[in-house]
Chains A and B, each alone.
Chain A
Amino acid sequence: MNGLRRRFLAPAALVMGLLFLTPLVIILVYSLLMRGTYGGVSSEWTIENYTRLADPLYLIILLRTFGMAGAATLGCVVFGFPLALFISRAGARKNLYLQLVILPFWTSFLVRTYAWMFLLRDTGLINSALKALGIIHEPLPLLYNNAAVFVGLVYGYLPFVVLPLYATLERLDKTLLEASADLGAKPGETLIRVVIPLCSSGLRAAALLVFIPCLGAYLTPDLLGGSKTVMVGNLIQNQFTTARDWPFGSAVSLVLMAIVMLMLMVIIRRGGKELI
């Protein structure tokens, strides 16, 4: 039995080793090399690519990424919790409501981001409608700012919190809620003093599940943000394209990976493993 199953692992091990781990090792090496004259890498070793991240220019991008990911996570949790609560109490139509949350999540991320460009840009639906109604004369600057990126991220990752929160709420011991009501608590009180504390580990895990992809977000800030909303993902991409500084881009990538792995370890420690 074991012989066959062991051999079945070989192709995947080959692909993951060659196309996932080796590339990571290569950027690890690149991150420790100097930049070459024509954009490649030279053969001199340095740690300068890492120390450069302390430059205020880049530090601000790191901080902004954390701020934006934190805000989007908070937004997702605050908007997602009541939705999960609603679904968990929907009775027979639970599955339908759950599907309605998942469905847009699986249709093209690019198209979903574009849909917001269509709504928000100067010639977009909102500005056109407001203009036609005579409410404004000049288009409102709705796109290419922090708010647009925030909306795009919340829209993109809301299902990431609704699903685990729904799972947590489903497992909740209903007798505790009845006990709370029997002891005279109003529904709102039960929610704040019983339901939310009981969900706290689920809430934390769900928050990290959104925070991680938001930290590495690229497409959303790229399409909905402007030059003032550059996030780490855009910084990395830029180093490999226009800036042609592969060693620095590699270093930033690895720092981002390290942060993501750290977060993941926190989730696993906190016992949220079944959510992954």
Chain B
Amino acid sequence: MKRGLALYASAAYAFLHLPLLILGVFSFNSARFTLWQGFSLTWYRAAFQDPQLAEAAWNSIVIAVAATVFSTIIGTLCAYGLWKRDAKWLSGSLYLSLVTPEVVMGISLLAFFQWIFRYLHVQLGMYTVILAHVAFSISYVVIVVLARLRTFDVSLEEAAMDLGATEWGAFREVTLPVLAPGIAAAALLAFTTSFDDYVITSMVAGVDSETLPMVIYAMARRGANPVVNSISTLIVVALGLLIVGSERLQKR
């Protein structure tokens, strides 16, 4: 039975990893069609020379960085505030946002922005995408930082205050440094989810805020295009490195 289980596990791991590995290998294929012709960097060169891709990549980075900064700060403060305490409405809505289907969040934000726009004369753009990303990233940040807080010894903070630190001082000098790895991990997580999001982004993006996932989606829809393989491989490698980094930080 043991051998059978190991055999099964290798098949399962193949199922989980082969699709991306094959995509990665074929991103170096010299042919346009899906048969191996030889090694080449053609599709990477094409990806780097495409001005639309470059602009979308830049937009994605700007949006992800902004959303990460806001959601990490707000989420960390929130986790600290929620720690060992009940704030039913807030924690309830955070959990609810976690299970809300992306498409529902996307359309409700779109309806919300359009409603606001009736009174303010503005349009969808980068900032609506950033706001939407902040909204869905906060719950991830709160969960990761709360997990870190649960391992934190309250008496350290109390000791700091007995020794004359103010509440704020104790938070900044004692609690925050202990939380740092958790906060960094949360930030990386927020960055990757923001960078990768298609469903919500496509609903609230304006004409000037096309992101990388939106371009990839459009290209994938249009039909076979090896440039998608190369850009996908780059994204997987970059996000993979970020996540491995995040996991390392969380364990520290």
Residues of chain A whose beta carbon lies under 8 Å from any beta carbon of chain B: 1, 3-9, 11-13, 15-17, 19-24, 26-27, 30, 79, 82-83, 85-87, 89, 97, 99-101, 103-104, 106-112, 114-119, 121, 123-125, 128-129, 132, 155, 158, 187-188, 212-213, 215-219, 223, 233, 236-237, 240, 246, 249-250, 253, 256-257, 260-261, 264, 276
Contact = CB atoms under 8 A, between A and B. Distances in A.
A253 B104 CA distance: 6
Interface of B: 1-2, 5-6, 8-9, 12-13, 15-17, 19-20, 22-23, 26, 33-35, 73-75, 77-78, 80-83, 85, 87, 89-90, 93-97, 99-112, 115, 131-132, 134-135, 138, 142, 161, 167-168, 171, 192, 196, 198-199, 203, 213, 216-217, 220-221, 224, 228-229, 232, 235-236, 239-240, 243-244, 247
Contact of B5 (A20, A85, A108, A215): A85
B33 A114 contact: no
B99 A6 contact: no
B91 to A, nearest CB: 10
B138 to A, nearest CB: 6
Given A15-B74, A106-B239, A223-B217, 4 more contacts: A8-B81, A12-B81, A86-B5, A110-B196
A188 B2 CA distance: 11
Contacts, number: 232
A83 B8 contact: yes
A9 B90 contact: yes
Closest 7 CB pairs of A and B: A216-B101, A12-B78, A23-B108, A19-B135, A8-B81, A23-B112, A115-B19
Contacts of B89: 13
B16 A155 contact: yes
Contact of A240 (B22, B85, B110): B110
B108 A108 contact: no
A216 B104 contact: yes
B111 A16 contact: no
Contacts of A17: 93
A107 B243 contact: yes
B203 A13 contact: no
A132 B35 contact: yes
Nearest to A124: B34
A123 B223 CA distance: 9
Nearest to A24: B108
A263 to B, nearest CB: 8
B16 A100 contact: yes
A111 B103 CA distance: 18
Contact of A256 (B17, B33, B75, B104): B104
Given A26-B111, A155-B16, A111 B96 contact: no
Contact of A110 (B15, B77, B168, B216): B216
Contacts of B192: 106
Nearest to A151: B15
Contact of B109 (A16, A19, A103, A132): A19
A116 B19 contact: yes
A219 B198 contact: yes
Contact of B20 (A3, A6, A111): A111
A126 to B, nearest CB: 9
Nearest to A121: B224
Interface core residue of B20, B107, B112 (most chain A CB under 10 Å): B107
B33 A4 contact: no
